Structure 1
């Protein structure tokens, strides 16, 4: 089975209190006192206390179109993914030239060649590196990336692989959009990156944990529940109240199916590594899985300290779970556009 050698989160330098971000967004988004009050109320309800952004908050008013925003993405994303990748490799005791396979994921910037080409050259990866850039999985991609790397390593047990995620959600700002989805999104999403080094079963490195199995699910009639509407102005958030209902109707069955294949039940899971998608999402996770109070405390903490980092968020949560005794079981889970869900069963070593 594939092993996880290291998980390295990274945040940009500009740290802001939620109240300061809200003030700046009220100044740019609200055209009357009613809208200003709605923005303040919705931002206050997210549970987010701080967020890290790639630019000073006052610079965001200068973003005029998608071309500008996407140029900023490529400018600021590369140093952030380099920092996460170097830290992950250092923690794993692995050299860049040893990496055989790279999955790179983002849903907040686009390009061809994709950003992993620049990352590969900056890091000194081999020219025969197998690369797989991913766009469109959104928040689920952190968990799905671990699962897909594990799938590759199952067939390449002598290989070393890397998952890299970066999301600069702040650059998707839409100053003319006063929809409830945009108001909620501007209060919830932050910027960040993460890198995960994984090893095939025949490698000599000692992993922190092993990936036991994974399960993917695509929920019916949910395509318009969450995602982006992408047009000339860039990324406009699509977010409906249906997401908690989908979690309530489907998640427990998918979790129980995966665990039953290994003669396990929910009581056998010691660590619930949940994507911090927002307060209603975390509450829906807890309710659907009948979790005790505090079992998602790390996810709540990550959301309060940095907001929802899309695909990077669940990897920040995983990094904080740290070391556990051998045999300690965890379930990594996230959801994203589709609506799709990825479950990854892991065991600490």
Structure 2
């Protein structure tokens, strides 16, 4: 198994109150009073109080093309990703030259070469570091990245690795689009980054660590749901696909997926004391709670994350993971299941355990 050493987070600028964002963004989406009324109602129902944005609010009206928004993504996304990586590395007390693999994920901008190339030089990593960039996993990318890094470290148990997720969701808002999906997305998603340092079981640091271990993972695609969540990509950029049936798909399938993962290690849900759930939104929380028979307290940190920073796409579940570690959860000997959902519809699950005190 692999050991999770530290999680670092980064958020751009000071938080904006949700009401201020609603007022500023509304003028870019519609001039129809009925749709503006719907915008205010939908934003108020997201459970979001504040969000961090890559640009000042008055700059969004100047982004007249997909190319202009993507240029901002490359510049600001690289800067924010570097900040998250440095926070994780400082907390883990590892230097960039000690890292053997860099896993990166994003779904809110495109760069070729991918922005992890810039990170190698900025952070001072070795030029022969193994890079594993991904695009298209959406909100599930952070969980999938943890699983991918874990799998790599199983095969290279003396190595250390870094996962970085960066999402600038605000740059994807479609101007002049007053569809319900775009109105919801404009009130739900925020900007942020997160990074995780992990080491293999035979790494020199492994013997001294008492933090979380990654036990295993599971991926699942839900049939017949390809139109439920994702991007429609056009000349204006990334237009959100966000269907109302998404929570129903989660409620129908998630319980079986979790049980299948736990059964592989002779565990049941009763033995899981901590749930690290992507802050997808109120209806996603309701679906997860229904599927797993959870009550309010189990999703408290996810709801708090949604309220303070919004849904950060692939970075979201890693922010919730950091909050979980800050609360010293799970207890020694206890298990946690980390859950995120993405296009497909897909679910990514990671089983974590805190070892007994050594």
TM class, shorter-chain normalised?
over 0.9
Q: Which one of the candidate residues 321, 337, 350 is aligned to 1:344?
A: 350
**Equivalent residue, structure 2, for 1:143:** 143
1:332 is the counterpart of 2:338: yes
Measure how far apart 1:286 and its partner are: 0.6
1:1-349, aligned counterparts within 5 Å? 1-205=1-205, 206=209, 208-322=211-325, 323-324=328-329, 325-349=331-355
Return the offset for 1:32: 2.0
Q: Deviations over 1:222-260 (max 9, x none)?
A: 111100011110010000011111111110001011111
TM-score w.r.t. the length of structure 2 is 0.96
Residues in 2 aligned to 1:52 and 1:286: alpha-carbon distance in whole angstroms: 27
Deviations 1:183-235 (A, max 9, x none): 00000000000000000000122251100111110111111110001111001
- Whether the aligned pair in 1 keeps the contact of 2:85 and 2:194 (CA below 8 Å) is yes
Cα offset for 1:30? 2.4
Structure 1 gap ranges (5+): none
How far 1:149 sits from its partner (Å)? 0.4
Structure 1 CA distance for aligned equivalents of residues 129 and 204 of structure 2: 20
Matched position secondary structure for 2:298: coil
Deviation at 1:110, TM superposition (A): 0.3
CA contact (8 A) 2:30 2:177 kept: no
> What SS class does the counterpart of residue 270 from structure 1 fall into?
strand
Structure 1 residue matching 2:296: 3-state secondary structure: coil
User: Residue 142 of structure 2 aligns to a residue in which SS?
Assistant: helix
Question: Could you state the TM-score of these two structures normalised by the residue count of structure 1?
Answer: 0.99
1:98-146 CA distance string (max 9 Å, x none) = 1000111000010110000001110010011000110000000111100
CA contact (8 A) 1:4 1:207 kept: no
Aligned partners of 2:30 and 2:176 also within 8 Å: no
Deviations 1:26-60 (A, max 9, x none): 22222121111000000000010000001111110
4+ runs deviating over 2 angstroms = none
Instruction: List alignment gaps of at least 5 residues for structure 2.
Output: none
Q: CA RMSD in A?
A: 0.8
Q: Give the Å deviation of 1:82.
A: 0.9
Across the two proteins, how many residue pairs are aligned to each other? 349
